[in-house]
Structure 1
Amino acid sequence: MIPFLDLKAQYAGIKAEVDAAVLNVLASAHYVLGPEVEAFEREFAAYCGVKHAIALNTGTSALHLALLAAGVGPGDEVITVPFTFVATVSAICYTGATPVFVDIEPVTMTMDPAQLEAAITPRTRAIMPVHLYGQMADMDPILEIAARHGIRVIEDACQAHGAEYRGKRAGSMGASGCFSFYPGKNLGACGEGGIAVTNDDRQMEKIRMLRDWGQERRYHHLLKGFNYRMDAIQGAVLRVKLRHLESWTEARREHGGHYTRLLGHSRRVTVPAEVTGRRHVYHVYAVRTPDRDSLQRTLQEGGVQTNLHYPIPVHLQAAHIDLGYKRGDFPVSEAAASEVLSLPIYPEMTPRQVESVAAAVEQKAYA
């Protein structure tokens, strides 16, 4: 069986470093925030090319607090896309604002900037593009439209650690960028974790207070805050993994390129496009086919695990029926949801495994 993801293989490669880091935290008795988390914040901010990083308990919390720090609240609207994980939309709802959707581009499956202007109203407070599958959205036109209307941009970069747009790292272009460290992410914790990054001092100060009960300092609560703090073990583990992230990213890019060379002329599937000027970090290698469910069954029977990201767009989820959208409102998102299939991709894969998956997709004998 070729697994969709192999976190055991990742751990085996860095076991000594991770074990030592965890034991150091246990010995220090600094279990929540503390020196390891502070050091990780500095290191991740430098990696993203920004001034500040605020470590949190989840990526969803990062999205929530970045929106609040940008002034989003009840009565406001936030524009995003329906083809994303539901957390993007949930974070908007947590603020009391209303999610407003625009469709995606068919090639990158990220926000279509051509549809933004029509969605903006006097209530629009923020735009939240999603950097999907490891590739950034088309940020220049999104930022230009936002600036012209006085609207803030919050990047959902939860799948885009190290991705770039014209030389700028994911998370560094909007008012804030938000990342998840869920274990399966390109940079994953040994549990839950997230972070918000920003160049805006006021945005940083507000997020930092909001994550810890709204405290400016101990027992001085200026805001109605939350318990969204990162624990120290996650900070220590993430510091270790951050040192390996670039080599892991290059391995993912090599595997992604190998898949594309093998399947680029396939009659069965359409491979993901890496747009010129954008560095795709291949959190997911999602092919498209009208015969998606049949192909997934065939691959499973042939010993290849796959996954679906995402089979039901958010506007058709029962939990968000109250937003008033219906099938047919976002045809590009709906088509993608019915066709995408994520193939195995992780740094520890071998070229032979990539070739075997590609052969199985084409229903050829294994190489």
Structure 2
Amino acid sequence: MTKLAMFGGAPAVTRGTPQSSWPVVTDQDTEAVLGVMRSGRFTAASAGEQEIRSLEREWAERVGTAHCLAVANGTAALTIALAAAGVGRGYEVIVPALSFVGSALAPLHVGATPVFVDVHPSTFNLSPDHLAAAVSGRTAAVLPVHLHGLPADMDEILAFAGQRGLVVVEDVAQAPGVRYRGRITGSLGDLGALSLNVSKNLPTCGEGGLLTTGDPELADRAELLRQFGERLGGRGERPYVSHAPGWNAKINAIQAAFTRSQLTRFDEQRAVRDRNVTRLLARVAELPGFTAPEVPADREHGWHILRFRVRPEAFGLPESRASVLRAVTVRVMRAEGVPVSRYQTRPLSEQPIFADAGAPSRALDVSVTRAVVQDSFVLQRIHLNPGAGDLLERVAEAFSKVWEHRAVVANMADSHTPDRTPA
């Protein structure tokens, strides 16, 4: 039996193992950025600027929507989408209880109230079963999040929203270009909001976002809200005429050029990533102590984040020790050289902004979300690089070592008290 690294054994991921950074920056990306620097055209207001407009056109064509607007970041895209759809003060927006806080802040930014609903225990996405209980006379929109790269149950969500006249705004931050029943995320709802943050599967060199829609009226209102209520149009001089109380939420041409360059390798990288991750998950799925992500047959997965749940009963522990077992497993895995972490440590409804600061919100029972954040940990970024195949084989070895030493791990978990257990 191999020895755990935390007790003197060799770590599964050694210093000599190639570490995979993200994003992969090539000479092509650098040249794209330098091209903007040489042109002197840095913003959408620059006469003759083409990088931003080209990115918008290329992404709209890829997604299958008539319109795409590039904006400053993913949260700005969500906020503008809600505002363009007429969601504002006095309205409610249904949001999954498990997501990045930006999904819940966007409704606040337009004066609406987020209503938190529980998620499915294996997809981690908003559960359509909870929608009916969340609706009130003030409900205006549903904001499903394609969490970790897996599309939500959009047909069920769209049918529910359509029966009640609700707007559907997709949070596509973690699932760009992913197919759901033959269609691509960002084209499923009334509007889609994508993040181009440097950590995302389709990155820019910092922050950025894309807003997609097939509705010309929504696109027109979103364009006004992006920059001071102005219509730029791309022709002639800037008019300096405001038609709506818009924000300053523009992307710049350097960011657009970088993303356009990344987009040329997007499909190839996705295919390799899918093969690498699928091999890892197949090995983890063989270990009874862990629940690995699964993909329904009717959709793809973008694999932005990999979430694993621990199974206390397989370690001979009661369910009440789930959070402690997760914490001990994280310690053991990190000692093995695997940079596992937690993505969200509480339901959104329990974030201080809602629980303590008094921001308007409403929450249903979110017990599934609470259980998921207590008993799961994640792998982020290192698997995004298409060269991470060998590294992920070592990660699989680390999982195997934990299971091989399950009696030791269980004893550690059983002896810890929750307040002494590392997060």
> Is contact 1:316–1:325 with CA below 8 Å preserved after alignment?
no
- C-alpha offsets along residues 300-322 of structure 1, whole Å, 9 cap, x if unaligned? 11111123212222111111113
Query: In structure 1, what residue type is equivalent to 2:272?
Result: A
* Structure 2 Cα separation of the partners of residues 136 and 160 of structure 1: 7
Task: Tell me the residue number matched to 1:45.
Answer: 60
* Residue 220 of structure 1 pairs with residue 254 of structure 2: no
Task: Tell me the residue number matched to 1:122.
Answer: 137
- C-alpha offsets along residues 97-134 of structure 1, whole Å, 9 cap, x if unaligned? 00011111111010110111121111111000010000
Identity of aligned residues (%): 33
* Residue 160 of structure 1 pairs with residue 198 of structure 2: no
Residues 349 and 342 (structure 1), Cα distance of their counterparts in 2 relative to 1, 3 Å cut: farther
Query: In structure 2, what residue type is equivalent to 1:37?
Result: I
SS at match of 2:401: coil
Which of 36, 55, 63 aligns to 1:25? It is 36
Which of 395, 399, 402 aligns to 1:357? It is 395
* Structure 1 Cα separation of the partners of residues 224 and 395 of structure 2: 47
* More deviation, 296-305/17-26: 296-305
* Structure 2 Cα separation of the partners of residues 219 and 365 of structure 1: 64
Task: Tell me the residue number matched to 1:294.
Answer: 328
Query: In structure 1, what residue type is equivalent to 2:291?
Result: T
* Count of residues paired in the alignment: 361
Structure 1 segments of 4+ aligned residues over 6 angstroms from their partners: none
* Structure 2 Cα separation of the partners of residues 51 and 38 of structure 1: 13
> Is contact 1:5–1:184 with CA below 8 Å preserved after alignment?
no
- C-alpha offsets along residues 256-280 of structure 1, whole Å, 9 cap, x if unaligned? 2111211112122110010111110
> Is contact 2:114–2:362 with CA below 8 Å preserved after alignment?
no
Query: In structure 1, what residue type is equivalent to 2:156?
Result: P
Give me the TM-score of the superposition, normalised by structure 2: 0.82
Task: Tell me the residue number matched to 2:117.
Answer: 102
Q: Rg bigger for which structure? A: 2
Matches within 5 A, 1:202-241: 202-217=217-232, 218-241=239-262
Task: Tell me the residue number matched to 2:70.
Answer: 55
Query: In structure 1, what residue type is equivalent to 2:183?
Result: K
Query: In structure 2, what residue type is equivalent to 1:347?
Result: N
**Structure 1: gaps spanning 5 or more residues:** none
Residues 365 and 145 (structure 1), Cα distance of their counterparts in 2 relative to 1, 3 Å cut: closer
Query: In structure 2, what residue type is equivalent to 1:310?
Result: Q
Q: Report how far residue 162 of structure 1 moved.
A: 1.4
SS at match of 2:93: strand
Residues 55 and 3 (structure 1), Cα distance of their counterparts in 2 relative to 1, 3 Å cut: farther
Q: Report how far residue 88 of structure 1 moved.
A: 0.3
* Residue 335 of structure 1 pairs with residue 371 of structure 2: yes
Which of 311, 314, 322 aligns to 2:348? It is 314
* Structure 2 Cα separation of the partners of residues 333 and 4 of structure 1: 32
* Residue 279 of structure 1 pairs with residue 317 of structure 2: no
Q: Report how far residue 348 of structure 1 moved.
A: 2.8
Give me the TM-score of the superposition, normalised by structure 1: 0.94
Q: Report how far residue 340 of structure 1 moved.
A: 2.2
Matches within 5 A, 1:59-98: 59-98=74-113
Residues 229 and 324 (structure 1), Cα distance of their counterparts in 2 relative to 1, 3 Å cut: closer
Residues 82 and 4 (structure 1), Cα distance of their counterparts in 2 relative to 1, 3 Å cut: farther
* Structure 1 Cα separation of the partners of residues 206 and 269 of structure 2: 19
> Is contact 1:295–1:361 with CA below 8 Å preserved after alignment?
no
Query: In structure 1, what residue type is equivalent to 2:264?
Result: R
* Structure 2 Cα separation of the partners of residues 221 and 324 of structure 1: 32
* Structure 1 Cα separation of the partners of residues 388 and 39 of structure 2: 39
> Is contact 2:113–2:361 with CA below 8 Å preserved after alignment?
no
> Is contact 1:308–1:342 with CA below 8 Å preserved after alignment?
yes
* Structure 2 Cα separation of the partners of residues 265 and 348 of structure 1: 24
- C-alpha offsets along residues 183-211 of structure 1, whole Å, 9 cap, x if unaligned? 11000111100010010001111111111
* Structure 2 Cα separation of the partners of residues 199 and 308 of structure 1: 36
Task: Tell me the residue number matched to 2:317.
Answer: none
* Structure 1 Cα separation of the partners of residues 257 and 118 of structure 2: 39
* Structure 1 Cα separation of the partners of residues 403 and 155 of structure 2: 45
- C-alpha offsets along residues 26-56 of structure 1, whole Å, 9 cap, x if unaligned? 1111111231010000001111111111000
Query: In structure 1, what residue type is equivalent to 2:368?
Result: V
Q: Report how far residue 347 of structure 1 moved.
A: 2.8
SS at match of 1:256: helix
> Is contact 2:116–2:348 with CA below 8 Å preserved after alignment?
no
Task: Tell me the residue number matched to 2:3.
Answer: none
* Residue 179 of structure 1 pairs with residue 194 of structure 2: yes
* More deviation, 108-117/58-67: 108-117
**Structure 2: gaps spanning 5 or more residues:** 1-14, 233-238, 311-321, 405-423
Residues 125 and 365 (structure 1), Cα distance of their counterparts in 2 relative to 1, 3 Å cut: closer
- C-alpha offsets along residues 66-93 of structure 1, whole Å, 9 cap, x if unaligned? 0000100000000011100000000110
SS at match of 1:362: helix
Q: Report how far residue 286 of structure 1 moved.
A: 1.1
* Structure 2 Cα separation of the partners of residues 267 and 331 of structure 1: 24
SS at match of 1:109: coil
Residues 320 and 31 (structure 1), Cα distance of their counterparts in 2 relative to 1, 3 Å cut: same
* Residue 260 of structure 1 pairs with residue 281 of structure 2: yes
Q: Report how far residue 161 of structure 1 moved.
A: 0.6
